[in-house]
Amino acid sequence: MYRFDRKEYERRTAWFTQARFGLFIHFGLYALPGRGEWVRSDERMPESAYRPFFDGFDPAGFDARDWARAAKEAGMRYAVLTAKHHDGFCLFDSALTDYKSANTPFGRDIVREFLDAFREEGLKVGLYYSLLDWHHPDYPHRGDRYHPLRDDPAGENAGRDWERYLRYMHGQVRELCTSYGRLDLMWFDFSYGDMTGPKWRAAELADMVRTLQPGIVLNNRLEVSGEGFGSLYTGEPTAWHGDFITPEKMIPPEGLRDAAGRPLLWESCVTMNNSWGYTRADGYYKPAPLLIKKLVECVSKGGNMILNVGPDGTGRFPAPARRTLAEIGRWMARNGESVYGCGPADLPKPDCGRFTRRGNTLYLHVYENALGPLPVPGLEKDRVGAVTCLADGRPVPVSASWVHSDYPDVCFLDLGPDPVLPDGTDTVLRIELA
Protein backbone atom coordinates (compact mmCIF):
# COMPACT_ATOMS: atom_id res chain seq x y z
CA MET A 1 0.00 0.00 0.00
CA TYR A 2 1.21 3.50 -0.84
CA ARG A 3 2.97 5.50 1.87
CA PHE A 4 3.99 9.12 1.58
CA ASP A 5 7.70 9.75 0.99
CA ARG A 6 8.70 13.41 0.66
CA LYS A 7 11.72 12.84 -1.58
CA GLU A 8 9.73 10.66 -3.96
CA TYR A 9 6.91 13.21 -3.86
CA GLU A 10 9.28 16.01 -4.85
CA ARG A 11 10.69 13.92 -7.71
CA ARG A 12 7.32 13.06 -9.23
CA THR A 13 5.98 16.62 -8.96
CA ALA A 14 9.09 18.35 -10.33
CA TRP A 15 7.64 18.61 -13.87
CA PHE A 16 4.46 20.15 -12.46
CA THR A 17 6.29 23.05 -10.83
CA GLN A 18 8.31 23.56 -14.00
CA ALA A 19 5.25 23.63 -16.28
CA ARG A 20 3.20 26.25 -14.42
CA PHE A 21 0.60 26.70 -17.20
CA GLY A 22 -1.91 24.11 -18.41
CA LEU A 23 -5.09 23.67 -20.43
CA PHE A 24 -8.32 22.23 -19.02
CA ILE A 25 -10.91 20.95 -21.50
CA HIS A 26 -14.51 20.28 -20.46
CA PHE A 27 -16.28 18.47 -23.28
CA GLY A 28 -19.22 16.10 -23.39
CA LEU A 29 -22.92 15.73 -24.20
CA TYR A 30 -23.65 18.99 -22.37
CA ALA A 31 -21.96 20.90 -25.21
CA LEU A 32 -25.05 20.26 -27.38
CA PRO A 33 -27.66 22.07 -25.25
CA GLY A 34 -24.97 24.65 -24.51
CA ARG A 35 -26.10 25.37 -20.96
CA GLY A 36 -23.07 24.12 -19.04
CA GLU A 37 -21.87 20.79 -17.71
CA TRP A 38 -24.28 20.89 -14.74
CA VAL A 39 -27.36 21.21 -16.95
CA ARG A 40 -28.87 17.88 -15.85
CA SER A 41 -28.50 18.72 -12.16
CA ASP A 42 -29.45 22.39 -12.43
CA GLU A 43 -32.60 21.66 -14.42
CA ARG A 44 -33.51 18.39 -12.61
CA MET A 45 -33.41 16.81 -16.07
CA PRO A 46 -34.45 13.13 -16.26
CA GLU A 47 -32.47 10.65 -18.31
CA SER A 48 -35.14 10.59 -21.02
CA ALA A 49 -34.76 14.34 -21.63
CA TYR A 50 -30.96 14.06 -21.78
CA ARG A 51 -30.89 11.02 -24.07
CA PRO A 52 -31.36 12.99 -27.34
CA PHE A 53 -27.97 14.61 -26.79
CA PHE A 54 -26.38 11.13 -26.73
CA ASP A 55 -28.25 10.13 -29.86
CA GLY A 56 -27.17 13.34 -31.60
CA PHE A 57 -23.55 13.50 -30.44
CA ASP A 58 -21.49 13.86 -33.62
CA PRO A 59 -18.93 16.70 -33.24
CA ALA A 60 -17.86 16.97 -36.87
CA GLY A 61 -15.40 19.78 -36.11
CA PHE A 62 -13.46 17.85 -33.47
CA ASP A 63 -9.74 17.73 -34.21
CA ALA A 64 -7.50 16.81 -31.28
CA ARG A 65 -4.41 17.92 -33.20
CA ASP A 66 -5.93 21.38 -33.59
CA TRP A 67 -6.63 21.51 -29.84
CA ALA A 68 -3.04 20.45 -29.12
CA ARG A 69 -1.52 23.01 -31.45
CA ALA A 70 -3.62 25.78 -29.91
CA ALA A 71 -2.45 24.78 -26.43
CA LYS A 72 1.20 24.62 -27.42
CA GLU A 73 1.05 27.94 -29.23
CA ALA A 74 -0.50 29.48 -26.10
CA GLY A 75 2.58 28.42 -24.14
CA MET A 76 0.84 25.68 -22.16
CA ARG A 77 2.93 22.76 -20.99
CA TYR A 78 0.23 20.25 -20.00
CA ALA A 79 -3.45 19.53 -20.62
CA VAL A 80 -6.30 17.72 -18.85
CA LEU A 81 -9.45 16.40 -20.57
CA THR A 82 -12.74 15.32 -18.97
CA ALA A 83 -12.70 11.57 -19.61
CA LYS A 84 -15.98 11.34 -17.67
CA HIS A 85 -17.96 14.16 -16.10
CA HIS A 86 -20.78 14.01 -13.55
CA ASP A 87 -23.36 13.01 -16.16
CA GLY A 88 -21.54 9.67 -16.53
CA PHE A 89 -20.90 10.02 -20.27
CA CYS A 90 -17.47 8.69 -21.19
CA LEU A 91 -15.18 10.12 -23.86
CA PHE A 92 -13.21 6.84 -23.80
CA ASP A 93 -14.08 3.40 -25.11
CA SER A 94 -14.82 1.80 -21.75
CA ALA A 95 -15.68 -1.90 -21.76
CA LEU A 96 -17.82 -1.33 -18.65
CA THR A 97 -20.54 0.87 -20.16
CA ASP A 98 -22.36 1.59 -23.40
CA TYR A 99 -22.66 5.24 -22.39
CA LYS A 100 -19.63 6.45 -24.31
CA SER A 101 -18.57 8.45 -27.34
CA ALA A 102 -17.71 5.26 -29.23
CA ASN A 103 -21.42 4.31 -29.18
CA THR A 104 -22.74 7.66 -30.41
CA PRO A 105 -23.04 8.62 -34.09
CA PHE A 106 -19.50 10.01 -33.72
CA GLY A 107 -18.19 6.51 -32.98
CA ARG A 108 -14.70 7.46 -31.81
CA ASP A 109 -12.53 7.27 -28.67
CA ILE A 110 -11.93 10.96 -27.94
CA VAL A 111 -9.60 10.32 -25.02
CA ARG A 112 -7.23 8.27 -27.17
CA GLU A 113 -7.15 10.93 -29.88
CA PHE A 114 -6.58 13.65 -27.27
CA LEU A 115 -3.69 11.79 -25.63
CA ASP A 116 -2.02 10.95 -28.93
CA ALA A 117 -2.27 14.52 -30.25
CA PHE A 118 -1.04 16.27 -27.12
CA ARG A 119 1.84 13.86 -26.64
CA GLU A 120 2.89 14.49 -30.23
CA GLU A 121 3.12 18.20 -29.42
CA GLY A 122 5.33 17.43 -26.41
CA LEU A 123 2.78 18.33 -23.74
CA LYS A 124 2.24 16.43 -20.50
CA VAL A 125 -1.19 14.78 -20.41
CA GLY A 126 -3.80 14.23 -17.75
CA LEU A 127 -7.37 13.01 -17.45
CA TYR A 128 -10.25 14.29 -15.36
CA TYR A 129 -12.54 11.66 -13.90
CA SER A 130 -15.70 12.43 -11.92
CA LEU A 131 -16.38 10.32 -8.87
CA LEU A 132 -20.04 11.23 -9.31
CA ASP A 133 -22.18 9.53 -11.92
CA TRP A 134 -25.77 10.61 -12.60
CA HIS A 135 -26.23 7.95 -15.28
CA HIS A 136 -25.21 4.86 -13.32
CA PRO A 137 -28.23 3.11 -11.73
CA ASP A 138 -26.39 2.35 -8.49
CA TYR A 139 -25.28 5.92 -7.77
CA PRO A 140 -27.56 7.49 -5.08
CA HIS A 141 -30.49 9.41 -6.53
CA ARG A 142 -33.07 10.44 -3.95
CA GLY A 143 -31.65 12.78 -1.31
CA ASP A 144 -28.24 13.14 -2.91
CA ARG A 145 -26.94 16.70 -2.91
CA TYR A 146 -26.57 16.96 -6.69
CA HIS A 147 -28.32 14.11 -8.54
CA PRO A 148 -30.92 15.33 -11.08
CA LEU A 149 -33.55 13.12 -9.39
CA ARG A 150 -32.65 14.12 -5.85
CA ASP A 151 -36.13 15.57 -5.23
CA ASP A 152 -38.07 13.17 -7.44
CA PRO A 153 -40.05 10.40 -5.69
CA ALA A 154 -39.28 8.21 -8.70
CA GLY A 155 -35.61 8.41 -7.77
CA GLU A 156 -35.88 6.25 -4.66
CA ASN A 157 -32.67 4.41 -3.72
CA ALA A 158 -34.11 1.00 -2.94
CA GLY A 159 -32.15 -1.68 -4.77
CA ARG A 160 -29.19 0.56 -5.59
CA ASP A 161 -25.91 -1.19 -4.75
CA TRP A 162 -23.13 1.21 -3.71
CA GLU A 163 -20.44 -1.48 -3.77
CA ARG A 164 -21.42 -2.37 -7.31
CA TYR A 165 -21.00 1.28 -8.28
CA LEU A 166 -17.57 1.40 -6.64
CA ARG A 167 -16.48 -1.68 -8.60
CA TYR A 168 -17.61 0.07 -11.77
CA MET A 169 -15.89 3.35 -10.90
CA HIS A 170 -12.61 1.68 -9.86
CA GLY A 171 -12.79 -0.48 -12.96
CA GLN A 172 -13.06 2.53 -15.23
CA VAL A 173 -10.11 4.23 -13.56
CA ARG A 174 -8.15 1.00 -14.04
CA GLU A 175 -9.04 1.09 -17.76
CA LEU A 176 -7.72 4.63 -18.06
CA CYS A 177 -4.52 3.66 -16.27
CA THR A 178 -3.85 0.52 -18.34
CA SER A 179 -5.17 1.18 -21.84
CA TYR A 180 -3.81 4.59 -22.81
CA GLY A 181 -0.09 4.64 -22.10
CA ARG A 182 1.65 6.92 -19.67
CA LEU A 183 -0.50 9.49 -17.86
CA ASP A 184 1.21 12.38 -16.13
CA LEU A 185 -1.75 13.57 -14.08
CA MET A 186 -5.12 12.37 -12.79
CA TRP A 187 -7.68 15.01 -11.84
CA PHE A 188 -10.44 13.49 -9.69
CA ASP A 189 -13.62 15.47 -8.98
CA PHE A 190 -14.96 15.66 -6.22
CA SER A 191 -15.80 14.87 -2.58
CA TYR A 192 -18.74 16.34 -0.67
CA GLY A 193 -20.66 15.76 2.54
CA ASP A 194 -20.04 12.17 3.63
CA MET A 195 -18.98 11.26 0.07
CA THR A 196 -15.27 11.55 0.72
CA GLY A 197 -12.13 9.47 1.19
CA PRO A 198 -13.20 6.12 2.62
CA LYS A 199 -16.64 6.36 0.98
CA TRP A 200 -14.87 6.13 -2.40
CA ARG A 201 -12.48 3.42 -1.10
CA ALA A 202 -9.94 6.11 -1.89
CA ALA A 203 -6.91 4.41 -0.33
CA GLU A 204 -7.41 1.44 -2.64
CA LEU A 205 -8.17 3.68 -5.62
CA ALA A 206 -5.13 5.94 -5.17
CA ASP A 207 -2.84 2.97 -4.55
CA MET A 208 -4.07 1.32 -7.75
CA VAL A 209 -3.47 4.49 -9.78
CA ARG A 210 0.01 5.04 -8.35
CA THR A 211 0.92 1.38 -8.90
CA LEU A 212 -0.30 1.28 -12.50
CA GLN A 213 1.08 4.74 -13.34
CA PRO A 214 4.30 5.20 -11.34
CA GLY A 215 5.17 8.86 -10.96
CA ILE A 216 1.65 10.13 -11.73
CA VAL A 217 0.53 13.34 -10.02
CA LEU A 218 -2.90 13.35 -8.31
CA ASN A 219 -5.04 16.29 -7.25
CA ASN A 220 -6.68 16.54 -3.82
CA ARG A 221 -10.35 15.98 -4.59
CA LEU A 222 -10.56 12.44 -3.28
CA GLU A 223 -10.44 14.34 0.03
CA VAL A 224 -12.15 17.65 -0.65
CA SER A 225 -14.02 19.70 -3.25
CA GLY A 226 -12.75 23.04 -4.53
CA GLU A 227 -13.03 24.03 -0.88
CA GLY A 228 -10.52 22.61 1.60
CA PHE A 229 -6.82 21.91 1.36
CA GLY A 230 -6.55 18.19 2.15
CA SER A 231 -4.33 16.13 4.40
CA LEU A 232 -0.97 17.16 2.94
CA TYR A 233 -1.79 20.61 4.30
CA THR A 234 -2.12 19.25 7.83
CA GLY A 235 1.25 17.50 7.62
CA GLU A 236 -0.43 14.10 8.11
CA PRO A 237 -1.05 12.86 4.55
CA THR A 238 -3.54 10.05 4.09
CA ALA A 239 -2.93 7.23 1.62
CA TRP A 240 -5.20 9.14 -0.80
CA HIS A 241 -3.73 12.60 -0.29
CA GLY A 242 -3.58 15.03 -3.17
CA ASP A 243 -0.20 16.08 -4.52
CA PHE A 244 -1.55 19.58 -5.11
CA ILE A 245 -4.38 21.81 -3.91
CA THR A 246 -7.10 22.95 -6.33
CA PRO A 247 -8.54 26.42 -5.64
CA GLU A 248 -11.33 27.00 -8.16
CA LYS A 249 -12.06 30.26 -9.97
CA MET A 250 -9.85 32.17 -7.54
CA ILE A 251 -6.22 32.71 -6.56
CA PRO A 252 -5.20 32.37 -2.90
CA PRO A 253 -4.36 35.71 -1.28
CA GLU A 254 -0.91 34.33 -0.45
CA GLY A 255 1.16 31.28 -1.29
CA LEU A 256 0.01 28.12 0.50
CA ARG A 257 2.06 26.40 3.21
CA ASP A 258 1.51 23.31 5.33
CA ALA A 259 1.34 23.17 9.11
CA ALA A 260 5.15 23.04 9.29
CA GLY A 261 5.53 26.11 7.07
CA ARG A 262 6.66 24.21 3.95
CA PRO A 263 5.37 25.49 0.58
CA LEU A 264 2.48 23.49 -0.85
CA LEU A 265 1.86 22.83 -4.52
CA TRP A 266 -1.35 24.27 -5.88
CA GLU A 267 -3.11 24.90 -9.15
CA SER A 268 -5.77 27.53 -9.68
CA CYS A 269 -8.36 26.14 -12.11
CA VAL A 270 -9.80 29.06 -14.05
CA THR A 271 -12.54 29.48 -16.64
CA MET A 272 -12.15 31.76 -19.67
CA ASN A 273 -15.68 33.06 -19.26
CA ASN A 274 -17.81 31.99 -16.27
CA SER A 275 -18.47 28.41 -17.41
CA TRP A 276 -16.58 25.12 -17.62
CA GLY A 277 -18.68 23.35 -20.24
CA TYR A 278 -19.80 25.23 -23.35
CA THR A 279 -22.48 27.77 -22.43
CA ARG A 280 -23.94 29.57 -25.41
CA ALA A 281 -25.27 32.54 -23.42
CA ASP A 282 -22.05 33.17 -21.50
CA GLY A 283 -20.10 35.78 -23.44
CA TYR A 284 -18.23 37.15 -20.43
CA TYR A 285 -14.75 36.21 -21.62
CA LYS A 286 -11.83 37.44 -19.56
CA PRO A 287 -9.40 39.50 -21.65
CA ALA A 288 -6.02 37.99 -22.38
CA PRO A 289 -4.07 40.74 -20.51
CA LEU A 290 -6.02 39.92 -17.34
CA LEU A 291 -5.33 36.19 -17.70
CA ILE A 292 -1.62 36.82 -18.33
CA LYS A 293 -1.39 38.88 -15.15
CA LYS A 294 -3.28 36.21 -13.21
CA LEU A 295 -0.92 33.52 -14.49
CA VAL A 296 2.00 35.64 -13.27
CA GLU A 297 0.22 36.11 -9.93
CA CYS A 298 -0.12 32.35 -9.52
CA VAL A 299 3.59 31.81 -10.27
CA SER A 300 4.61 34.66 -7.97
CA LYS A 301 2.80 32.84 -5.15
CA GLY A 302 4.23 29.42 -5.99
CA GLY A 303 1.26 28.05 -7.91
CA ASN A 304 0.12 26.90 -11.36
CA MET A 305 -2.78 28.03 -13.51
CA ILE A 306 -4.87 25.64 -15.58
CA LEU A 307 -7.08 27.59 -17.97
CA ASN A 308 -10.28 26.00 -19.25
CA VAL A 309 -11.83 25.89 -22.71
CA GLY A 310 -15.29 24.38 -23.27
CA PRO A 311 -15.53 23.24 -26.91
CA ASP A 312 -18.91 23.77 -28.53
CA GLY A 313 -21.22 21.04 -29.83
CA THR A 314 -19.17 20.69 -33.02
CA GLY A 315 -16.01 20.02 -31.00
CA ARG A 316 -14.41 23.35 -31.88
CA PHE A 317 -12.93 25.86 -29.45
CA PRO A 318 -15.20 28.95 -29.43
CA ALA A 319 -13.77 31.86 -31.41
CA PRO A 320 -13.24 34.11 -28.35
CA ALA A 321 -11.27 31.33 -26.66
CA ARG A 322 -9.08 30.87 -29.74
CA ARG A 323 -8.32 34.60 -29.89
CA THR A 324 -7.46 34.67 -26.20
CA LEU A 325 -5.16 31.66 -26.45
CA ALA A 326 -3.37 33.22 -29.41
CA GLU A 327 -2.84 36.51 -27.58
CA ILE A 328 -1.53 34.76 -24.48
CA GLY A 329 0.75 32.74 -26.73
CA ARG A 330 2.29 35.83 -28.27
CA TRP A 331 3.18 37.13 -24.81
CA MET A 332 4.47 33.73 -23.65
CA ALA A 333 6.68 33.38 -26.73
CA ARG A 334 8.60 36.45 -25.60
CA ASN A 335 8.30 36.13 -21.83
CA GLY A 336 7.71 32.47 -20.94
CA GLU A 337 11.13 32.31 -19.29
CA SER A 338 9.66 34.38 -16.45
CA VAL A 339 6.93 31.75 -15.90
CA TYR A 340 8.35 28.24 -16.48
CA GLY A 341 10.14 26.85 -13.45
CA CYS A 342 9.73 30.13 -11.58
CA GLY A 343 8.26 30.84 -8.18
CA PRO A 344 8.14 33.41 -5.40
CA ALA A 345 10.93 35.98 -5.11
CA ASP A 346 10.65 36.50 -1.32
CA LEU A 347 10.63 40.24 -1.89
CA PRO A 348 7.91 42.81 -1.22
CA LYS A 349 5.32 43.06 -3.99
CA PRO A 350 6.24 46.08 -6.15
CA ASP A 351 3.65 48.77 -6.80
CA CYS A 352 4.24 48.42 -10.55
CA GLY A 353 3.41 44.70 -10.82
CA ARG A 354 4.92 41.45 -9.51
CA PHE A 355 8.13 39.47 -9.09
CA THR A 356 8.86 35.91 -10.15
CA ARG A 357 12.20 34.20 -9.65
CA ARG A 358 14.28 31.22 -10.73
CA GLY A 359 17.53 30.75 -8.82
CA ASN A 360 19.63 33.90 -9.06
CA THR A 361 17.47 35.38 -11.81
CA LEU A 362 14.74 37.79 -10.79
CA TYR A 363 11.92 38.80 -13.14
CA LEU A 364 10.21 42.12 -12.53
CA HIS A 365 6.79 42.19 -14.21
CA VAL A 366 6.00 45.83 -14.89
CA TYR A 367 2.31 46.56 -15.45
CA GLU A 368 2.58 50.32 -15.24
CA ASN A 369 5.46 52.77 -15.52
CA ALA A 370 6.73 55.04 -12.78
CA LEU A 371 6.98 58.83 -12.86
CA GLY A 372 10.71 58.88 -13.36
CA PRO A 373 13.05 55.98 -12.58
CA LEU A 374 11.39 52.73 -11.51
CA PRO A 375 11.94 51.67 -7.88
CA VAL A 376 12.64 48.00 -7.16
CA PRO A 377 11.56 47.47 -3.54
CA GLY A 378 13.53 45.21 -1.25
CA LEU A 379 16.43 44.80 -3.68
CA GLU A 380 19.88 46.01 -2.62
CA LYS A 381 21.75 47.84 -5.38
CA ASP A 382 24.96 45.91 -4.81
CA ARG A 383 23.10 42.66 -5.60
CA VAL A 384 22.00 43.84 -9.05
CA GLY A 385 24.00 42.57 -12.00
CA ALA A 386 22.87 42.78 -15.62
CA VAL A 387 19.33 44.02 -16.23
CA THR A 388 17.64 43.48 -19.59
CA CYS A 389 14.20 43.67 -21.13
CA LEU A 390 13.25 40.01 -21.50
CA ALA A 391 11.30 40.41 -24.74
CA ASP A 392 14.06 42.01 -26.81
CA GLY A 393 17.26 41.79 -24.73
CA ARG A 394 17.94 45.52 -24.62
CA PRO A 395 19.92 46.60 -21.53
CA VAL A 396 18.21 48.53 -18.73
CA PRO A 397 20.65 50.59 -16.64
CA VAL A 398 20.49 51.15 -12.92
CA SER A 399 19.49 54.79 -12.49
CA ALA A 400 21.96 57.35 -11.12
CA SER A 401 19.50 60.26 -11.27
CA TRP A 402 19.53 62.90 -8.56
CA VAL A 403 15.72 62.69 -8.25
CA HIS A 404 15.92 59.67 -5.96
CA SER A 405 18.97 60.74 -3.97
CA ASP A 406 16.82 60.87 -0.84
CA TYR A 407 16.39 57.08 -1.11
CA PRO A 408 19.95 55.75 -1.20
CA ASP A 409 18.95 52.25 -0.06
CA VAL A 410 16.45 51.70 -2.89
CA CYS A 411 17.46 50.42 -6.32
CA PHE A 412 15.95 52.39 -9.22
CA LEU A 413 15.98 51.34 -12.88
CA ASP A 414 16.08 53.70 -15.85
CA LEU A 415 13.50 52.64 -18.44
CA GLY A 416 14.29 55.55 -20.73
CA PRO A 417 12.41 58.68 -21.80
CA ASP A 418 9.28 57.03 -23.21
CA PRO A 419 6.53 56.82 -20.54
CA VAL A 420 4.75 54.15 -22.59
CA LEU A 421 5.95 50.64 -21.74
CA PRO A 422 7.12 48.37 -24.58
CA ASP A 423 4.43 45.84 -23.61
CA GLY A 424 1.29 47.45 -22.23
CA THR A 425 0.20 44.18 -20.63
CA ASP A 426 3.40 43.14 -18.85
CA THR A 427 6.91 44.34 -19.65
CA VAL A 428 9.27 41.85 -18.03
CA LEU A 429 12.72 42.92 -16.80
CA ARG A 430 15.31 40.19 -16.27
CA ILE A 431 17.59 40.97 -13.32
CA GLU A 432 20.69 38.89 -12.64
CA LEU A 433 21.47 38.80 -8.93
CA ALA A 434 25.01 38.83 -7.62
Question: At 394, which CATH number?
Answer: 2.60.40.1180
Do 222 and 305 share a structural domain? yes
Do 319 and 227 share a structural domain? yes
Is the residue at 1 inside a domain? no
Q: What is the pLDDT of residue 1?
A: 87
Do 411 and 310 share a structural domain? no
Q: What is the pLDDT of residue 377?
A: 87
Do 416 and 300 share a structural domain? no
Is the residue at 344 inside a domain? no
Q: Are strands 411-413 and 374-376 parallel, antiparallel or unpaired?
A: antiparallel
Where does residue 203 rank: exposed (0-12), middle (13-18), buried (19+ CB within 10 A)? middle
Do 404 and 325 share a structural domain? no
**In the chain, how many domains are there?**
2
Of the candidates 20, 15, 32, 9, which has an alpha carbon nearest to the alpha carbon of residue 277?
32
Is the residue at 164 inside a domain? yes
Of the candidates 62, 205, 60, which has an alpha carbon nearest to the alpha carbon of residue 131?
205
Is the residue at 15 inside a domain? yes
End-of-domain residue from the set 282, 307, 338: 338
Cα end-to-end distance, the chain, whole Å: 47
Do 417 and 332 share a structural domain? no
Q: What is the pLDDT of residue 99?
A: 98
Question: At 42, which CATH number?
Answer: 3.20.20.80
Do 407 and 279 share a structural domain? no
For 113, phi and psi rounded to 5 degrees? -65, -40
Instruction: Spell out where 85-203 has E strands.
Output: 124-130, 185-189
Do 280 and 223 share a structural domain? yes
Q: What is the pLDDT of residue 373?
A: 98
Do 307 and 393 share a structural domain? no
End-of-domain residue from the set 305, 338, 371: 338
Range of the domain at 87: 6-338
Do 118 and 163 share a structural domain? yes
| pLDDT string in tens for the chain (434-residue length) | 899 999 999 999 999 999 999 999 999 999 999 999 999 999 999 999 999 999 999 999 999 999 999 999 999 999 999 999 999 999 999 999 999 999 999 999 999 999 999 999 999 999 999 999 999 999 999 999 999 999 998 888 999 999 999 999 999 999 999 999 999 999 999 999 999 999 999 999 999 999 999 999 999 999 999 999 999 999 999 999 999 999 999 999 999 999 999 999 999 999 999 999 999 999 999 999 999 999 999 999 999 999 999 999 999 999 999 999 999 999 999 999 999 999 999 999 999 999 999 999 999 999 999 999 999 989 999 999 999 999 999 999 999 999 999 999 999 999 999 999 999 999 999 999 98
For 220, phi and psi rounded to 5 degrees? -105, 15
Do 271 and 174 share a structural domain? yes
Do 400 and 257 share a structural domain? no
